[in-house]
Amino acid sequence: MFVKFLRLEIKSFFRGTSVGVNLAMKILRLIGILNFMACLIGGAFAVFYLVQNKMNEDPIKVVSKFMIIVWVVDLIVKYMWQEMSTQNIKPFLTLNVSKKTLVNYMLIKTFLSAFSWLNSLFLITFSIIALFNGYGFLEVLSWFIGVSLLFYLNNFINILFNNKETIAIIIGSIFIGLGLLTYYNIIPLLSYSETFFYGFYTKPYLILIPIALFSGLWWICFKHVYQEFYLDEGLEAKKEIGRTENIAFLNKYGVLGTFINNDIKLLRRNKVAKGIVLGSFLFIFYGMLMFSSPVYKTPYMMMLMGLFVTGGFQFLFGQKVPAFDSSYYPLMMTLNVPYKEYLKAKWWLMNIVTGLSMIVALFYAYWGWEIYITFFAAGLYNIGVNSQFTLWSGAFNKTQIDLNSREKRIGQKNSFNIKALLLLIPKMLLPIAVFGVSKYFFGMTVGVVSIAILGLIGFLLREKIFDAIVRHYKKEKYSTLDAFKNKD
């Protein structure tokens, strides 16, 4: 039966209305996965021989010491992005197919996700290298099985706590607390990790613990999904009681204030939008990479990181204009909506958050004012230039966003658009090119100032640029309406 389900999904893929886009996205994802596979396999060789030859320590023991950190990161990544697909299974609930079979198929399918098996490549490669270097077969096999099963437990934890945000926040707070206690040497968490994970190697019988946990959580997840696996219960879209909110002071700005008011409500209420706000906040700390490698401290990388640090919200939120309004966009187009004011509201909201990011990023001055001034100039470029390009690229984004959806997909098939990708060039490469030329001929100071001046020029010419953007949105209006109405 499982093979039949897989065959039906393959047929569904090739018979869809967007086969070309589907195939393009699959190819891009495959390239990304192959890249990760190469990095993980190469990383296994690098870690083993670096620890053995340079540090003169036991590689398995050292890897076991830091395995708790990798396990937590794996759990966070799966919670944020991995989902249990139910859409392809719903039609079978009305047929004479055992519900137990469907539930088991869904649980097994989670292990086919790249999120589940990619880390196994590192463990498999690392274990094979250990065997070739004289480590015992039974001990290495026990270590590999024990560690792998603990990582696979994250699939079940993700299923059980997928929609329980309060519990997720509590667990996340515990992780942060333990991390701080470990950082300040109050709790030797890494020593505990080494003792626990390395125990699978020294005492092979301990793999009975992860085997028991795996079997128990499988049964718990099966019962949990089985009880909610009904079209009118667990798989039904959740509905909440609507609330009326209003940010009064924005009303004095007329139509512009009304649109900004609506977008702020969206960011406060919707889970997808909340994820963007969280991601934007995390982008502010992207510049911390400078302190992990000398490569990031080069002037060009500083400027690139400045664009990300100050423009995280702009890139994440702006590229989804008008997709966030897809559910009521057709209705909005039947009304007398001033298109320019609608886009201006998005623009002002993005730039207000960009300005706040520039202020928050002031802490980078602790490591040198040169870093912060570079980030500040990049922020001005984001406000004056990139904000315009981001809005322009939104006209090509015809992806529907269901504000009631709980899905956590990284990318959807309709979000792939070659024109939108081409607009990434001026967002990233143009400022780097201008900065590079100015720096080469006139020095670092002129390079930074040139980026800031470009941003100011873009800000001053915003009305002219807005007119061009509005014309393009109107040109794409009917194809956008057709995409938002088409639910396939």
* 285 shares a domain with 151: no
Q: Which residue has the higher pLDDT, 397 or 227?
A: 227
Q: Which residue has the higher pLDDT, 406 or 79?
A: 79
List the domain range (segments joined by +) for residue 330: 248-485
Question: How many domains does the chain contain in total?
Answer: 2
- Work out the angle between the directed axes of helices 189-202 and 165-183 (0-180°, nearest 10): 100
Look at residue 386 and tell me whether its pLDDT is greater than 80: yes
Instruction: Answer with the one of 228, 257, 288 that is the final residue of a domain.
Output: 228
Among the listed residues 152, 180, 191, 189, the one whose alpha carbon sits nearest the alpha carbon of residue 62 = 191
pTM, two decimals, is 0.59
State mean pLDDT over 364-382. Answer: 88
Is 234 part of any domain?
Answer: no
Instruction: Answer with the one of 228, 260, 292 that is the final residue of a domain.
Output: 228
Mean pLDDT, all residues of the chain: 78
Look at residue 469 and tell me whether its pLDDT is greater than 80: yes
State mean pLDDT over 392-411. Answer: 62
* 255 shares a domain with 287: yes
Among the listed residues 322, 311, 320, the one whose alpha carbon sits nearest the alpha carbon of residue 375 = 311
State mean pLDDT over 311-316. Answer: 84
Instruction: Answer with the one of 228, 258, 282 that is the final residue of a domain.
Output: 228
* 183 shares a domain with 78: yes
* 253 shares a domain with 221: no
Is 386 part of any domain?
Answer: yes
- pLDDT band of 78, cuts 50, 70, 90: confident
- Work out the angle between the directed axes of helices 299-318 and 339-360 (0-180°, nearest 10): 140
Asked whether the beta carbons of 309 and 284 are under 8 A apart, the reply is yes
pLDDT of residue 8: 62
* 42 shares a domain with 91: yes
- pLDDT band of 198, cuts 50, 70, 90: very high
Is 163 part of any domain?
Answer: yes
pLDDT of residue 475: 84
State mean pLDDT over 324-333. Answer: 76
State mean pLDDT over 452-467. Answer: 89
- pLDDT band of 213, cuts 50, 70, 90: very high
The upper half-sphere exposure of residue 253, i.e. CA atoms within 13 Å in the direction of its Cβ, equals 15
pLDDT of residue 60: 92
Q: Give the whole-angstrom CA distance, residue 129 versus residue 52.
A: 12
* 219 shares a domain with 96: yes
Look at residue 318 and tell me whether its pLDDT is greater than 90: no
**Distances from the Cα of 64 to the Cα of 70, 212, 394, angstroms:** 10, 20, 46
* 360 shares a domain with 309: yes
* 272 shares a domain with 398: yes
Chain segment 420-442, per-residue pLDDT in tens: 555 666 677 888 888 888 888 88
Is 10 part of any domain?
Answer: no
pLDDT above 90: percentage of residues in the chain:
17
State mean pLDDT over 186-208. Answer: 91
* 331 shares a domain with 254: yes
* 194 shares a domain with 276: no
State mean pLDDT over 371-384. Answer: 90
* 309 shares a domain with 256: yes
Asked whether the beta carbons of 434 and 451 are under 8 A apart, the reply is yes
Asked whether the beta carbons of 120 and 145 are under 8 A apart, the reply is no
* 208 shares a domain with 283: no
Is 235 part of any domain?
Answer: no
